[in-house]
Amino acid sequence: MKRPLARLLYGAATAASRAILASYGRWEAVHHERVPARGGVVLVSNHLNLLDPPLVAASCRRRVHPMAKRELFELPLLGWMFRVYGAFPVRRYSADIGALRAARNHLRSGDVVLMFPEGTRSAGAMRPALPGAAMVALLTGVPVVPVAITGTEQIHVPGIVLRWLSRDRPRIRVEFGEPFTLPQVASGAHEAEAATDLMLRRVAALLPERYRGAYGAGSEGRVVFARQAGTPRAPADIDEGAPPAS
């Protein structure tokens, strides 16, 4: 019963998201066909607004499993709905090995996982990213698709309602880049850091310069990433003591 309910809830939520986006904003989903039609895929995106996960899901033709902050799952009823929807929790500001293992299991089951490597929302310009998404992609070897979001930093309640009433709808754009696979090299911390930089530069290349921030002009020639206490030493650490994929 759980899987049919999950499919029903996801379909209803995604349809509602598309209807709202089409009504309240000038929404454009570009190159969604670049997401491989089957098999595990990591979507990596910049992060501007709490609405970014359902926005990306509405823009993608495959079911998406977003990684979302744990606090959302602790809310009565809403937490249950997030889980049935297909999202999975991550403890922010710490190296949450359980969340990385959950992402790995989804990918090994052939699912699409959405991750925001910056770890939190930015004010518009990209922040240095954390290595978790790169570690998962290196461990599983699945394709990575960069995703660029623009316009959602303009969405605020009740401001968005007032803009809609005045017919000043914000332009919201989601662009999917070409899929690529990270080089399969020795899986150490330095490789994960270099892979993080590579992934986020692919995202930045899809964005206007004002959004690129830490990966914009002047950052060329150096590896940009963020360190966090307790970060795994290598991608293989995610597999230690982990249950098999279901």
pLDDT, residue 5, reads: 79
Residues 12-24: b if buried by 16+ CB within 10 A, e if exposed:
ebbeebbeebeeb
pLDDT, residue 50, reads: 87
Structural domain total, the chain = 1
Residue 62 lies inside a defined structural domain of this protein = yes
pLDDT, residue 2, reads: 63
Task: Indicate which CATH number applies to the domain containing 52.
Answer: 3.40.1130
How far apart are the C-alpha atoms of 78 and 84, rounded to whole Å? 10
pLDDT, residue 72, reads: 82
pLDDT, residue 43, reads: 98
**Tens-digit pLDDT profile for residues 223-239:** 998 876 566 666 777 77
Residue 147 lies inside a defined structural domain of this protein = yes
Cα–Cα distance list, 145 to 134, 148, 201, 208 (Å): 12, 10, 12, 18
pLDDT, residue 123, reads: 81
pLDDT, residue 233, reads: 64
pLDDT, residue 244, reads: 42
pLDDT, residue 246, reads: 37
List the domain range (segments joined by +) for residue 123. Answer: 2-239
Residue 244 lies inside a defined structural domain of this protein = no
pLDDT, residue 1, reads: 47
Give, to the nearest 10 degrees, the angle between helix 189-205 and helix 132-140.
100
Residue 246 lies inside a defined structural domain of this protein = no
Residue ranges in the chain whose pLDDT is less than 50: 1, 243-246
Residue 45 lies inside a defined structural domain of this protein = yes
pLDDT, residue 168, reads: 74
